[in-house]
Amino acid sequence: MAALKPPAAERRRPALLTGLVAAQALAAVFFAADAATDLLNAPWTPHTLIEAFVALALGAGVVIGAVELRAALERLRAQETALAAARGALSTVVAAQFRDWALTPAETDVAWLALKGLDVAEIAALRGSAQGTVRAQLARVYAKAGVSGRAQFAALFVEELLAQGVPEADGAHEASRRQA
Amino acid sequence: MRPADTPPAKAVGGDPHPPVLWDPVVRLTHWTIAVAIVVNYALTEDGGTTHVWVGYLALAILVLRLVWGFVGPAEARFAAFPPAPRAALAHLADLAAGRPGRYRSHNPAGALMAYALWAMLAVVIATGILMTAGGPGDEALMRAAVERDDWSILTGATPWVGDAAAEVLEEVHEVAANLLLLLAALHIAGVAVESRAMRTNLVRAMLPWRR
Ligand code: HEM
Ligand code: HEM
C-alpha cells in the first residue's frame, strides 16, 4: 500500500544540496592551495589577490550552503513528524470511536482491517473465519456506526480530521526535538 | 498488520538512539574519506599526481565534515559526541559487561575513534602538502621551479623545507598513513562489535544510497 510522504522534490533537495556543497568545498580548497602556493613563491600580485578572494568567497559559500542544507533537512523532518503525529492522532480518534460504538472485540478487529483497506476475502483469510462471518460482522459495525457501507465508514474519520485540523501529538513532537 | 483496540504506537520518546539514517553530508564525507584513504594507500603511485589530487580531495571533504560539525543537525555536531576518554573507557567496560548504553550520536568510544581518524588524516595530508610544497604534483612543481631558475628541486630538495625536514616529513607521512589504516581496521572491528552488542546494524544508517 502506498504511504504518504513529503513531496518528491522536498526529498531530493538534501541530496542535491549535499553535492553542491561538496563541489564548493573542493573548489575552495583548490583555490586556497593555489593562492597559498603563489603567495609563498611570490609577493602579492593582482592574480594572487583574486585567487585569495575567490577562495574566501567559495569558503563562505560552503558555510552558507551547509546552513541552507541543515534547514532543508529540518523542514523534511518536521513534515515527517507532522505526518507521524497525524497518524497517531487518527488511530486515537478511531479507537475512541470504536469504544463509543461498543464494538465487540471481534468487530473491532474486523473494523480496523476494513479501515486499512482490506476486502472481505482478505479479512476472512487473515482471521481464519468464513467470508459470511466477516460480512455479518461488518454489517453490524456499519449499523452501530450508522453508515451504509465501507466508503461512508472511512469517510467518517477523514471528515473528523479535516474538520478539526491535525491535533498535536505531544509525545511525537518531543521525540523529534530530541532527535533534531 | 495487528488489529487491536489501539494499534501499536510508533516508539515516541523513550531511550535515545543513534540515527536510523545519518544525514547525507555525514554519509558522503564518510565514504569519500574512506575510499580516498584506501586508494591513496594502496592504488596510486606514492607522491604521483593522482596521489596528490586524491589527497586534496580528501582535504576538501574533511573540511566539509568539520564545518558540518558546527552547523549540521544536532546528532552530527561535535557537541553531540565530544571527545571524552573517560566516557569512552566507561562505555567499553559497559560493552564488555554486555550492557552498552544508548546514545543519540556516536558512542563515546566511537567518537574518540572518529577524532583519531580525522586527526591522523589531517597529519597525513599536512605532511603531504608540505612535502610537495603545495604544488599540484611532482611534474608541475618541477617545471615551475625550473622556470624560476630554482634547480634545487632536481637535486631532491623541496622549496618549502630543507632536505633534512623533507626526510622527516616523508617519514611522518608514511608512519601516519600506516597508523591511519590500523585505526580504520580497528574502527571497522568496533562497528561490528557494537552492532552485535546493540542488536542494531549500525552500517545500515551509514549506507550512501539509502534515502
Ligand atoms: C588520503 C591521504 C593520504 C594517504 C593515505 C597517503 C599515503 C601515502 C603512502 C602510504 C605513501 C608511501 C610512503 C612510503 O612508503 O614512503 C605516500 C607517499 C607520498 N605521499 Fe601520500 N598519502 C595521502 C595524502 C597525500 C597528500 C595530500 C600529498 C601531497 C599533497 C601526498 C604526497 C605524498 C608524497 C610526495 C609521497 C612520496 C614520499 C616519498 O618520496 O616517499 N600524500 N603517501
Ligand atoms: C578507511 C576507512 C574508514 C574511515 C577512515 C572511517 C572513518 C569514520 C569516521 C571518521 C566516522 C565518524 C563519522 C562522522 O561522524 O562523520 C565513522 C563512522 C562510521 N563508520 Fe567508518 N570509516 C572507514 C571505514 C568504514 C567501513 C568499511 C565501514 C563499514 C563496514 C564503516 C562504518 C562506519 C559506521 C557504521 C559508522 C557510524 C558508527 C556509529 O554509529 O557511531 N566505516 N567512520
ipTM confidence score: 0.76
- Mean pLDDT score of chain A: 82
Query: Would the pLDDT of B27 be above 60?
Result: yes
Given a contact cutoff of 8 angstroms between Cβ atoms, the answer to whether A38 and A47 are in contact is yes
Residue with cell 586527526: B119
Residues in chain B, overall count: 211
What residues in A contact B7, CB-CB < 8 Å? 91, 95, 112
Contacting residues for A43 by C-beta, under 8 A, at least 6 apart: none
- Number of neighbouring beta carbons within 10 Å of residue B144: 17
User: Higher pLDDT residue, A139 or A39?
Assistant: A139
User: Residue A11's pLDDT is what?
Assistant: 74
Residue with cell 608540505: B130
- Tell me how far apart the alpha carbons of residues A172 and A91 are, in angstroms, rounded to a whole number: 14
Given a contact cutoff of 8 angstroms between Cβ atoms, the answer to whether B17 and B104 are in contact is yes
Q: What is the mean pLDDT of residues A51-79?
A: 91
| Per-residue CA distances from A111 to A3, A9, A40, A128 (Å) | 20, 36, 77, 16
Residue with cell 523513550: B14
Q: Does the CA dihedral A115-A117-A120-A122 come out positive or negative? A: negative
Which atom of ligand 1 sits closest to the CA of residue B138? 35
Query: Would the pLDDT of B13 be above 60?
Result: no
Query: Would the pLDDT of B196 be above 70?
Result: yes
CA angle (B187 as vertex; B182, B192 as ends), nearest 5: 130
SS3 content of chain A, % helix, strand, coil (to 5): 80, 0, 20
Which atom of ligand 2 sits closest to the CA of residue B37? 1
**What distance in Å separates residue A69's CA from the closest CA in chain B?**
8
Which atom of ligand 1 sits closest to the CA of residue B125? 27
- Tell me how far apart the alpha carbons of residues B143 and B153 are, in angstroms, rounded to a whole number: 9
Instruction: Report the helix count and the strand count for chain B, using DSSP H and E.
Output: 6, 0
Q: What is the mean pLDDT of residues B195-204?
A: 89
- Tell me how far apart the alpha carbons of residues B131 and B59 are, in angstroms, rounded to a whole number: 15
Find the B46 Cα to ligand 1 centroid distance in Å: 5
CA angle (A124 as vertex; A121, A125 as ends), nearest 5: 85
- Identity of the residue in A36, A112, A175 whose CB atom sits nearest the CB atom of B12: A175
pLDDT tens column, B84-126: 999 999 999 999 888 888 888 999 999 999 999 999 999 999 9
**Grid coordinates standing for A13?**
533537495
Q: What percent of chain B has pLDDT over 70?
A: 78
Interchain pair A18, B24: CB under 8 A: yes
Per-residue confidence band for A179, with pLDDT thresholds at 50, 70 and 90: very low
- Tell me how far apart the alpha carbons of residues B4 and A94 are, in angstroms, rounded to a whole number: 11
User: Residue B144's pLDDT is what?
Assistant: 58
User: Higher pLDDT residue, B158 or B170?
Assistant: B170
pLDDT tens column, A109-156: 999 999 888 899 999 998 999 999 999 999 999 999 889 888 888 888
Residue with cell 602579492: A44
What residues in A contact B72, CB-CB < 8 Å? 66, 70
**What distance in Å separates residue A61's CA from the closest CA in chain B?**
11
Q: Is the CB of B131 under 6 A from ligand 1?
A: yes
DSSP string spanning A60-93? HHHHHHHHHHHHHHHHHHHHHHHHHHHHHHHHHH
Interchain pair B60, A109: CB under 8 A: no
**What distance in Å separates residue B37's CA from the closest CA in chain A?**
16
Interchain pair B4, A109: CB under 8 A: yes
Given a contact cutoff of 8 angstroms between Cβ atoms, the answer to whether A153 and A115 are in contact is yes
Amino acid letter for position B95: L
| A51 DSSP 8-state letter | H
User: Higher pLDDT residue, B121 or A35?
Assistant: B121
Residues with CB under 6 A from ligand 2: B 18, 26, 29-30, 33-34, 37-38, 65, 106, 110, 114, 117-118, 184, 187-188, 191, 202-203, 206
pTM above 0.80, yes or no: no
Interchain pair B4, A172: CB under 8 A: no
Q: What is the mean pLDDT of residues B21-32?
A: 95
Given a contact cutoff of 8 angstroms between Cβ atoms, the answer to whether B183 and B120 are in contact is yes
Q: What is the mean pLDDT of residues A4-31?
A: 85
In terms of Cα–Cα distance, which of B76, B42, B36 is closest to B58? Answer: B36
User: Residue B26's pLDDT is what?
Assistant: 96
- Identity of the residue in A22, A63, A74 whose CB atom sits nearest the CB atom of B73: A74
